[in-house]
Amino acid sequence: MTQVKKMKSIQGKTGIGFRKDFAEEFLNENILQPNFIEVAPENWIDMGGYWKRIFDKVTEQYPLTCHGLSLSIGSPDELDWDFLKKLKVFLKQYKVKIYSEHLSYAKCDNAHLYDLLPIPFRDDAVNHIIERIKTVQDFLEQKIAIENVSYYTAVAAEMDEPTFISNIVNGADCNLLLDVNNVYVNAFNHKYDAKEFIKKLPLDKVAYIHMAGHLQVEEDLIIDTHGKNIIDPVFDLFDYTTRLIKPVPVLLERDFNFPEFNELQGELNRLQKICNNVWTPQHAATN
Amino acid sequence: MLLQTNTKKIQSKLADYCRTGELTLTTEVNQKHVHHYRRLVYNIIDDMLQSAFPIFYEFVDTKLWDEIVNTFFSTHACQTPHVWKVPGEFYQYACDNNLKEKYNLPFLEDLLLFEWIELDIHTMKDEEFPAYKAKGNWSDDILVVNPEYRILSVKYPVHTTAPSTIDVNNPGQYFILIYREPKKGSVQFLDISILFALTIEKIEEEKTITEITDELQTVFSFQDKAFAQEQIINFCKDLQQKDFVLGFKK
């Protein structure tokens, strides 16, 4: 199974974020069957011992995508070249074709924060980030995908979010990781129409989709927790989105509060069904 | 730098708020919701340190824990891009800022070191294991040991005694061998004497046990050198059973 599975394309297929929390169960049981897995490279680079063995085992069985946390593409700080060098080795070693990062910053004033802070939607930030993405892409010798993040306050914004994202993605000639749940969360938090928002994005650049659950913490605020099941309106928004773009890999993010594998597989199945409904005929026709 | 000073300042202020909890941004952010960033960022650090230092976390009251973590995060600029390595920076911060005196916890550095090294050994990059043969002469062949280990020297028995019962008025000298068991990757630790700590150090210098016993004779003035050598050999045989001594140099 393993080698054949790894050779298959993951376009139009569903995968899951691989977590240490369920690693052993995942490898020992056959209940959860994603088409690929995703990890944060920061959590595995420099790792040895037990976890290295687990990681090598799972990456022998599944195609791997990487979703970074610490590149801090929107940071005022210099790029971390030591980290980038290690990242490049890691991506090559595990033959990672999709490497994505957040359109946010996680380091400032030479201090890591380990979370995703919102960038001011401004022209100078756009130009700054374009240059950084180009630099990173040149160095890694591959395109990266940039994710629209959820945010809980705009920060000194001088343009709207879709303009900010589009200008960066087009200017840097990078890919877009479209997090559909984040669009839903932001539409709720910042009171805009999610579908209209999606239509304004550079949809020809979408190379990857993320789906997740969230938590409403205040009457007027949702936090993107990855700790609950995907809700129906986000599935609906996903269905809407798939009709606007070419087939891409779709990832289910679940970071804690894990349900039984059957339940996770149920979510993957539901996502895959939508993918198949929308993409399979078109995909077959174009190949 | 294409980023303008004003934008950079705003980003810096938001980051600073997440680290310190002191908000200096006004109209630039939503005042009602911005606190979630401080909460989320702080929780990541707090959770990481709680899981890395469970003994210390259990020992201190919540107020002191919060004070220590808050001061650490607000004054120390975390350098590692890997959040799981932050506990190592926390240990170094505690030493650099002499927290053991500040909080009158003489065993603090020893305890944090012990807890951090356990984690560090578990996750450390794989070392290349040297070639060895399974059988040899215990007295006159050079032993080969598992390279994934550390020997800690501490003043308080943090590895055997709960912090609340440590006699802080009677520091001593304790040695802890911590290593990664090669088959399963689990971390083992052993309380060892100074004699055996020095033995391991000299094995690393590629000395035979006969040579080691001769050298240690000058340190310990053994009454019965043959008996001492027998004890050292028995210790090494036990370590072989425990997957620390791998075998004999080829």
Which residue is it, tokens 């425990």?
B242
The band of A8, judged by pLDDT with boundaries at 50, 70 and 90, is low
Domain boundaries, chain B: 5-105, 143-248
Looking at residue A285, its pLDDT comes to 46
| Closest Cβ–Cβ partner in A48, A125, A152 for B33 | A152
Residues of A in contact with B78 (CB under 8 A): 111-114
Residue with tokens 């680079």: A45
Inform me whether the pLDDT recorded for A6 exceeds 60.
no
List, as ranges, residues 170-189 from B with C-beta within 8 Å of A: 180, 184-186
Check if A45 contacts B (Cβ < 8 Å): yes
CB pairs A-B closer than 8 Å: 143
* CATH number 3.40.190.10 given to A8-286: no
Task: Please indicate if any CB of chain A lies within 8 Å of the CB of B47.
Answer: no
Q: How far is A219 from chain B (nearest CA, A)?
A: 11
- Closest-CA distance, A283 to chain B, in angstroms, reads 39
Q: Does A256 touch chain B (CB under 8 A)?
A: no
Top residue of B47, B83, B85, B125 to mutate, by most chain A CBs within 10 Å, is B83
pLDDT of residue B2: 86
Task: Taking residues A134-156, report their average pLDDT.
Answer: 98
Each residue's pLDDT tens digit, A104-128: 999 999 999 999 999 999 999 999 9
Low-confidence ranges of chain B (pLDDT < 50): none
CATH fold of B5-105: DNA polymerase; domain 1 (1.10.150)
Say if CB A161 and CB A121 are below 8 A apart: yes
Query: Helix crossing, B86-96 with B35-52: angle to 10°?
Result: 80
- What span, in angstroms and rounded, lies between the C-alpha atoms of B248 and B16? 55
Residue spans of alpha helices (H) in chain A: 2-7, 23-28, 49-61, 81-93, 123-140, 161-172, 180-190, 194-199, 232-242, 261-286
Position A281 scores a pLDDT of 66
Asked if B36 has any chain A CB less than 8 Å from its own CB, the reply is yes
A117: nearest CB among B14, B127, B185 = B14
**Interchain contact B124–A (C-beta under 8 A):** yes
Of the partner residues B78, B79, B124, the one whose CB lies closest to the CB of residue A49: B124
A47 touches chain B (CB under 8 A): yes
DSSP state of B133: B
User: Mean pLDDT across the stretch A257-272?
Assistant: 97
Cβ–Cβ below 8 Å for A117 and B37: yes
Under an 8 A CB cutoff, do A49 and B185 touch?
Answer: yes
If you average pLDDT over every residue of chain A, what do you get?
95
Which of B24, B28, B33 is best to mutate for the A interface (most A CBs within 10 A)?
B33
Q: What is the mean pLDDT of residues A36-62?
A: 97
- Cβ–Cβ below 8 Å for A120 and B10: yes
Which pLDDT value is given to residue A282? 52
Q: Are strands A64-67 and A36-39 parallel, antiparallel or unpaired?
A: parallel
Measured between beta carbons, the chain A residues lying within 8 angstroms of B4 are 122, 124
Chain A residues 156-185 with a CB less than 8 Å from chain B: 156
| Residues within 8 A of A (CB atoms), B 208-247 only | none
* A109, closest residue in chain B (CA to CA): B12
Chain A residue numbers with beta carbons less than 8 Å from the beta carbon of B3 are 76, 124-125, 128
Banded model confidence at residue A2, pLDDT cuts 50, 70, 90: very low
Per-residue pLDDT band for A10 (boundaries 50, 70, 90) equals: very high
Q: On the CB side of A215, how many CA atoms lie within 13 Å of its CA? A: 11
Domain B143-248 has CATH 3.90.930: yes
Examine the pLDDT at A286 and tell me if it is beyond 80. no
Determine whether the interchain pair A152/B30 forms a contact, defined as Cβ–Cβ distance below 8 Å.
yes
Which residues from chain A sit within 8 angstroms of residue B14, using beta carbons?
A: 108, 117-118, 155
Give B65 to chain A, closest Cα distance, Å: 19
Average pLDDT score over residue span A127-152: 98
Among the partner residues B82, B148, B180, nearest to A45 by beta-carbon distance = B82
The pLDDT of residue A280 is 85
Q: Do B41 and A115 make contact, defined as CB atoms within 8 angstroms?
A: yes
Mean pLDDT, residues A199-209 taken together: 98
Q: C-alpha distances in angstroms, A75 versus A102, B206, B235? A: 11, 49, 54
Whether A1 shows a pLDDT value over 50: the answer reads no
- A127-131 contact pairs (CB < 8 A, 24+): A127/A171, A127/B2, A128/A74, A128/A76, A128/B1, A128/B2, A128/B3, A129/A73, A129/A74, A129/A103, A129/A168, A129/A172, A130/A167, A130/A168, A130/A171, A130/A172, A131/B2
Domain ranges of chain A: 8-286
Token digits of residue B119? 């984690």
Mean pLDDT of A20-40: 95
Among A261, A255, A152, which Cα is nearest to A213's?
A: A255
The DSSP symbol for B21 reads -
- Residues of chain B in contact with residue A53, where contact means CB-CB under 8 angstroms, are 185
**Any B CB within 8 A of A193 CB:** no
Nearest Cβ partner for B123 among A49, A76, A128: A49
A131 in reach of chain B (CB within 8 A): yes
A81 and chain B: CB distance < 8 Å anywhere? Answer: no
Q: Which residues of A touch B84 (CB under 8 A)?
A: 43
